[in-house]
Amino acid sequence: MSEDLKAAVAAGVLGADEEHRALLQSVVEVARAIFSARASSVFLLDEDADELVFEAVAGEGAESLIGQRIPSSTGIAGWVLVTRQPLVIDDLANDPRHARDVAESTGYVPQGLMCVPLLHEEKALGVLNVLDRASQFTLEEMELLGLFANQAAIGLDLLQRARRAQAVLAESGDPAEALARVASLLEGDNADAGRKLLGALEDVLRPRM
Amino acid sequence: MSSRPLPAWSMPAGRGEDLQLPVEWPAQLTREWAWGDSTGKDVRVCILDSGIDPGHPLVGDLDGAVAVTVLEGDEVEINDDHEGDLCGHGTACAGIVRALAPDCRISSVRVLGAGFTGSGPALLGGLRWAVEQGFDVINMSLSTTKRQFAGILHELADTAYFRKTVLVASAHNMPVESYPWRFSSVISVGSHEEPDPLVYYYNPNPPVEFFARGLDVEVAWLAGGKLRVTGNSFATPHMSGICALVLGKHRELTPFQLKSVLYLTSGNVGGGR
């Protein structure tokens, strides 16, 4: 592996955590804006714990609840994650159990909920909620929601890989060992996309003549 | 020469009379012929989903309810389900089927609750069990994006098809590859925006084959309640209910014939006559 590539990996993952948080915040802000919604929030899957983690909220909501965990396969969010299908529910207050669950993560009881999975390639990364949209729902909006969730998932997937690489680099002071471990992350299903990411970083960071 | 056919897949000479169809198809197939006066009586419909709220007034009695438990090594176990519905979605689907086909027999196979990591094996195990039970209709609003499961799901879908079990599966609402709805041996369903539960359309641009009611549907939900919902996952039980109506009147139809009936009675083909 070239010195340039090593530098590119090291530079590319710097600040990945801040970027990750900024991207998540941007996702919920944009989702809220697209649908003129009262709030939007995102839960990401923690694969090791097999739980969904409340990561970001825009609009009305309780930021203090960020970090809250819920089961990964029950309730509305769990159904959406497992089935990989979006769900749109109105009159949510008629479902006291779930209204309470949602309220606990947003600080208020919404009437309407759109919940969509964040999918990238084979992976399900989490779910995005849009609460109390302004307009009457149409199937066109469902498609828009799906397209937006797709775009958000692509960005999140890239940043999550960078975060993992950062964690690996942080674990080891030896650059060669660290690079080997980063390279090992590129095996399996992620290999092609990972190589492209590293290639792009190399292109960006290579000194221009 | 023996009168028994050879164990091969060709039609033995002179045995055309054995291939007489038990149903006389009319020159012009109508909805009246397809399901007129049918209530879906005794058609066995399986809801493969989040479970079903027991005793919900819009669902009524269940034929049975089981849950899939995922063990070590991704082995699965099927046990009686005493949890009911862990989301509300399965109850919603059951209520839609019941409203269309009031005398059908509904069973629940719960594949939710095994955690996200157990969801793939639970889906496969639940579907395999349901196919083995010989249900007439299996309603599944679930899909997986995992390619490692695609081959097994394809085999299960084909097995169901050849055993005369109709698999009705939700098309994905999003532009992603997922299974089993893309397989041609299932009936795949997307949504239209019209409020009539008996309006459905054939899609000449597959992979989605039919569009049924999926926008702003009032459905049964947890604790005997009701909600309004939207999504392909609610269009799917509309087609399952219509399948139950047709099979209630014409029990002998194969999935191919049933799909043909649905095609010929679609709003954009037979015009819903």
Higher pLDDT, A22 or B9: A22
Across A60-69, A91-100, B22-31, B48-57, least confident range: A91-100
Distance from CA of A86 to the nearest CA of B (A): 7
What would the 3-class secondary structure string for A56-116 be? EEEECCCHHHCCCEEECCCHHHHHHHHHCCCEEEECHHHCHHHHHHHHHHHCCCCCCEEEE
Rounded CA separation A3/B219 (Å)? 61
In a mutational test of the A interface, the residue from B58, B85, B112, B176 whose CB has the highest number of chain A CBs within 10 Å is: B176
Provide the pLDDT for residue B1.
46
CB–CB contact B112 A73 (8 Å): yes
CB of B87 closer than 8 Å to CB of B67: no
Of A89, A95, A146, the CB nearest to B173: A146
pLDDT band at B191 (very low <50, low <70, confident <90, very high): very high
User: Span A11-20, mean pLDDT?
Assistant: 68
Provide the pLDDT for residue B118.
86
pLDDT band at A103 (very low <50, low <70, confident <90, very high): low
- What CA–CA distances, in Å, run from B27 to A56, B24, B189, B208, B247? 61, 9, 27, 28, 20
CB of A58 closer than 8 Å to CB of A31: yes
User: Span B184-210, mean pLDDT?
Assistant: 96
User: Span B99-126, mean pLDDT?
Assistant: 94
Across A183-187, B98-102, B190-194, least confident range: A183-187
β-pairing, B210-213 with B201-202? antiparallel
Helix/strand/coil for A153: helix
Provide the pLDDT for residue B31.
95
Residues of chain B that touch chain A, judged by Cβ-Cβ distance less than 8 Å = 50, 86-89, 112-119, 141-147, 170, 172-176, 178, 191-193, 214-216, 221-223, 225-233
Report the share of chain A in percent with pLDDT over 90.
Answer: 27
Tell me whether A75 touches chain B (CB under 8 Å).
yes
Rounded CA separation B111/B180 (Å)? 15
Provide the pLDDT for residue B27.
84
Provide the pLDDT for residue B259.
97
CB of A86 closer than 8 Å to CB of A114: yes
pLDDT band at B223 (very low <50, low <70, confident <90, very high): confident
pLDDT band at A7 (very low <50, low <70, confident <90, very high): low
> In chain A, which residues have their Cβ closer than 8 Å to the Cβ of B233?
83, 85, 87
* Count of alpha carbons within 13 angstroms of residue B189, beta-carbon side: 33
Question: What range defines the domain where residue A92 resides?
Answer: 2-205
CATH number, residue A21 = 3.30.450.40
Domain count, chain A: 1
Average pLDDT along chain B: 92
By CA distance, what is B90's nearest residue in A? Answer: A79
**B214 pLDDT higher than 90:** yes
CB of A111 closer than 8 Å to CB of A102: no
In a mutational test of the A interface, the residue from B52, B177, B227 whose CB has the highest number of chain A CBs within 10 Å is: B227
Residues with Cβ within 8 Å of B169's Cβ and at least 6 positions away in sequence, in order, are: B140, B141, B143, B180, B181, B186, B187, B188, B189, B236
**Which residue type sits at B130?**
A
DSSP state of A164: H
Higher pLDDT, A101 or A47: A47
- How many CB pairs below 8 A link A and B? 135
Please give the structure tokens belonging to residue B74.
Answer: 């991704």
